[in-house]
Chains A and B, each alone.
Chain A
């Protein structure tokens, strides 16, 4: 049987963002995967050089919608270092609070997408319903559901009062209960676990070589987290653990994210109960002396890194942004290889498996010899059962993670 190439994207009904995947299949096995980027390239780094430091705060907010707080925090704490100002403690705590709430909403969103792509739509509906609770909390704090605009150079823009605190803590109880339920369902429900286990394997050494980041890396048993390794904002004072899994597959990535949700709730509760009194921001100068800084942030998807260089004016000389997804692309290509067409959406988590709208077989061509035989449906079924027993030994040795 010949190999055939199938382009997926850049415009595809199931794609949330334009990206072009070029897949080479042999039967239904992915033999090679290639990717073309740039359909969403907006020239943002060039634009940042023409805007002032304050304007860039709003520009970086618009890099991404899901993790809008990540980029502004990464940028703001870098510029604060360049300016030599230190935000007040209360400001840093509120910044961290919004960051963790954002992680909760992003992880709940991901869980829903994973459930949807695995064909478990009830799970998707449940998690997205509860995600609304976090969105409401974020709206209570910032007035917005997506672009929170909480950061300012030198602190945050809005304070929180006791009534808001109480509302958030009440909602947190509900979220903790619901997440415990998802942890139970998502990791003990046999069909769901069987669908996720052994799919998209990324061995530990490959993850290191290809510089993967975030939950993808932590699911390959590498306990690396910027919040722990290079504490920024208030993380040095918060109680939390770095969550890892050792299965190196999609199941591991699900477990890491569910575990991280519990850590988030723990941190949010700690922040609200130990919020220091005082100002929320300090005044920032307009001009910045010539210097350079490397700023890091643990976004929900992984390490986010900004390199900022100033030249003595009110505009940056250079702003380099590296978002976590770019770092995970080379690893994704490795995960896809030797997988099945049906695993593409799970591995890529955003692509619908429309490519396998294949016709039902009546004539079966032998892959090795090229002979064509007409087979009965029952024979074909028997052959497929035998085939799938052979192909994925990882599925047979699934150990329930909880």
Chain B
């Protein structure tokens, strides 16, 4: 399938759910959906276009909003489904019902960006240590790491 065929089929399958479809490079397709339609879109892409393989989920801090990018791959192209959620109410529905392999990436999003994944089957922290302070999310742009002053025993 060529990129144009995939785009046409995606438009047909998703109808008015797809807000915007772009094709900036060969074999790279970006698709924008509203977060309330996310699970429906993923479901339809899986059944209609055979996008059953999720490579990863990237989070992005854009100030007022968080952008979440779901990178689906198959043998023809990478289809990235993007959706946004507001900073004040960072909720995103889980897609593990459709793609069970998404669980680790969703847990990582919760850890690193403080997104709330609704109905996630396993909400435990994934990468941050147990004594990590609450409500501190390292990949948000307003979080800065300051290296603690090194104390040398017996030194100056």
Contact = CB atoms under 8 A, between A and B. Distances in A.
Interface of A: 37-38, 41, 43, 45-46, 81, 208-212, 224, 228-230, 291-294, 296, 303, 305, 307, 309, 317-318, 320, 322, 326-327, 329-331
Nearest to A224: B75
Interface of B: 24-25, 27-28, 52-56, 58-61, 69, 71, 73-78, 80, 99-105, 112, 125-129, 138-139, 143, 145
Contacts of A291: 24
Contacts of B128: 38, 41
Nearest to B124: A36
Contacts of A330: 100-101, 103-104
B28 A210 contact: no
A396 B57 CA distance: 42
Nearest to A45: B139
Contacts of B25: 81, 293
A224 to B, nearest CB: 6
9 contacts: A37-B126, A38-B127, A46-B145, A209-B100, A211-B53, A211-B99, A305-B56, A318-B58, A320-B56
Contacts of B75: 224, 228-229
Contact of A210 (B69, B100, B139): B100
A209 B56 contact: no
Contacts, number: 87
A327 B145 contact: no
B129 A38 contact: yes
B145 A43 contact: yes
Return the 8 tightest CB-CB contacts between A and B, nearest first: A211-B101, A322-B56, A320-B58, A38-B127, A210-B101, A229-B75, A307-B58, A41-B127
B55 A322 contact: yes
B71 A211 contact: no
Given A229-B75, A317-B60, A327-B56, 16 more contacts: A38-B128, A41-B128, A45-B112, A81-B25, A208-B53, A209-B52, A209-B101, A230-B27, A292-B24, A294-B28, A296-B55, A303-B73, A305-B56, A318-B60, A330-B100, A330-B104
B145 to A, nearest CB: 7
Contacts of B73: 229-230, 296, 303, 305
A163 to B, nearest CB: 38
B50 to A, nearest CB: 10
Contacts of B53: 208, 211, 224
Nearest to B98: A209
B104 A303 contact: no
A245 B94 CA distance: 33
A69 to B, nearest CB: 20
A211 B55 contact: yes
B54 A211 contact: yes
A326 B104 contact: yes
Nearest to B126: A37
A321 to B, nearest CB: 9
Nearest to A305: B55
Given A38-B127, A210-B100, A46 B139 contact: yes
B104 A38 contact: no
A199 B100 CA distance: 23
